[in-house]
Amino acid sequence: MLGPEHYIARASELEAEAKRASNSSIRGSYLDLARSFREMANLASLARSAEKAEAVSLAERMAGKTSSPR
């Protein structure tokens, strides 16, 4: 999975293209794509956070610092 930074950069590029587009339909398409890329960035960020939390939890269980999950 690509990181949130990748999706944010692509969204910014699409927004810049939208500013240069003279056709309103094309401009709207660029902005819709940019919005989708920003949503993907949010999902990637949430996935990364969940992976980190899972890794910490596993490490704590392995070290005997917490009880195992129910």
Q: What pLDDT score does 14 carry?
A: 98
Domain-embedded: residue 53: yes
Q: Pick left, alpha or beta for residue 44 (phi over 0 → left; psi -120 to 50 → alpha; otherwise beta).
A: alpha
Q: What is the pLDDT of residues 3-32, one digit of tens each?
A: 999 999 999 999 999 999 999 999 999 999
Containing 39, the helix (H) or strand (E) segment is helix 24-62
Domain-embedded: residue 66: no
Domain-embedded: residue 70: no
Closest CA relative to residue 42, chosen from 6, 68, 18: 6
Domain-embedded: residue 38: yes
pTM of the model as a whole = 0.69
Average the pLDDT over 45-67 and give the result: 77
Domain-embedded: residue 69: no
Query: Within 13 A of 8's CA, how many CA atoms are on the CB side?
Result: 8
Domain-embedded: residue 67: no
Domain count across the chain? 1
